[in-house]
Amino acid sequence: MIMEKNLNVQNIEKTDSLFAVITGASMGLGKCFALELSKRKINTILVSLPGEDIHRVAEECRKYGVESLYIETDLTQKENILSFTDWLNENFNVNILINNVGTGGTAVFHKTSLKYIENILHLNIITPSMITHQLLPNLMRQDSSYILNVSSIASFSPMGFKTVYPASKKFIQYFARGLHQELKNTSVFVSVVHPGPMITNEETRVRIGQYGIFGRLGLLTPEGVAAKSITELFKRNPYIVPGLFTKLQWIVMMLIPVKFKLPILARLLNKEIRLGFHRD
Please tell me whether residue 46 adopts helix, strand or coil conformation: strand
Kind and range of the H or E run holding 99: strand 93-99
Residue 2 DSSP one-character state: E
- Give me the catalytic one of 70, 116, 146, 165: 165
Exposure letters 245-279 (e unless 16+ CB within 10 A, then b): ebeebbeebeeeeeeebeeebbebbeebeeeebbe
Q: Residue 165 catalytic? A: yes
Q: Is the dihedral of CA 121, 124, 127, 133 positive or negative?
A: negative
Separation CA 21–CA 132 (nearest Å)? 11
Residue at 7: amino acid letter: L
- Helix, strand, coil proportions of the chain in percent (round to 5)? 50, 15, 30
* Residues taking part in catalysis: 165
